[in-house]
A = this chain, B = another copy of it.
């Protein structure tokens, strides 16, 4: 039980990101020494503010994952690497396809090489439901194939999964691959709720929503996400362990938009841009089977609607909005 035992430090790449910052808090709460490696391209120092820092607690290394020399020391003696760093913006990857190649596949390769060089026994990776492309089976199980991602972001998540698997089988480390539903919570810097709040801030009377509003997806709070990752990490013992992480249900974009408008007082008019996809690379229907991790004994505490509600409340409170 390398993740929860305290016999050695744990590395979190992208530890200043939205999910990373929640994972770091949970690892610290469980008594771990945590070493964050982040280039702060999308992570924020503020996300780690106030945490117990220094040797034996939290250390933050500002480094680009493509330059292993700059973070080699952080991997030394580590009992696990949680590799969460990535470009979080799927649409940006379509405009500039090298971003996900470099911050996705190549960064993962360097992380795996560094883990191998430092004899780190386990690497966990934040993959995504987007590796399923447009699935035809709902809820989609881990066994679904073929995996035909629609976006550069998805292609590089799939590539990273393959690299984890090959490193695990070739060089004797254990791999954990988590395919996330839409993860929401504190520290967000992108995503549908962030976007909708931004739009209403600019124009409180009109809310443009991408697509026809019928896109429907599972949403998972980042605290649940982190809980599920750690739960499977402590119990699953295959060479490569693949788990979907999502809630048991889904919610439509229309419902989300209406909830956001209600939180803003209910006066904004919702306008749909139309079409079944919100944008190039969008996956309009996403609903993961979580039976595999449920069989391990884990369940999320919140439904998709509850996760959305809580996050809307937090965003509204942080921005001084009262519905």
Q: Does A51 contact B (CB under 8 A)?
A: no
Which residue in chain B gives the minimum CB-CB distance to A145? B145
- Residues on B with C-beta less than 8 A from A151 are 166, 169-170
Contact for A166 among B154, B165, B177, CB less than 8 A: B154
Q: How far apart are A98's CB and chain B's nearest CB, in angstroms?
A: 8
Interface residue count on the A side (C-beta < 8 Å): 39
- Proximity bits, A163-197, B CB within 8 Å = 1, else 0: 10111011000000100000000000000000000
B142–A143 CB distance below 8 A:
no
- Give residues in A with beta carbon < 8 Å to B: 94, 97, 101, 105-106, 109, 113, 131, 133, 142-152, 154-159, 161-163, 165-167, 169-170, 177, 240, 242, 280-281
30 CB contacts below 8 A, A to B, read A94-B170, A97-B109, A97-B113, A97-B166, A97-B167, A105-B105, A133-B169, A142-B146, A143-B146, A145-B145, A145-B146, A146-B177, A147-B147, A148-B169, A149-B162, A149-B166, A150-B165, A150-B166, A150-B170, A151-B166, A151-B169, A151-B170, A152-B170, A156-B159, A156-B162, A158-B159, A159-B159, A159-B163, A170-B280, A170-B281
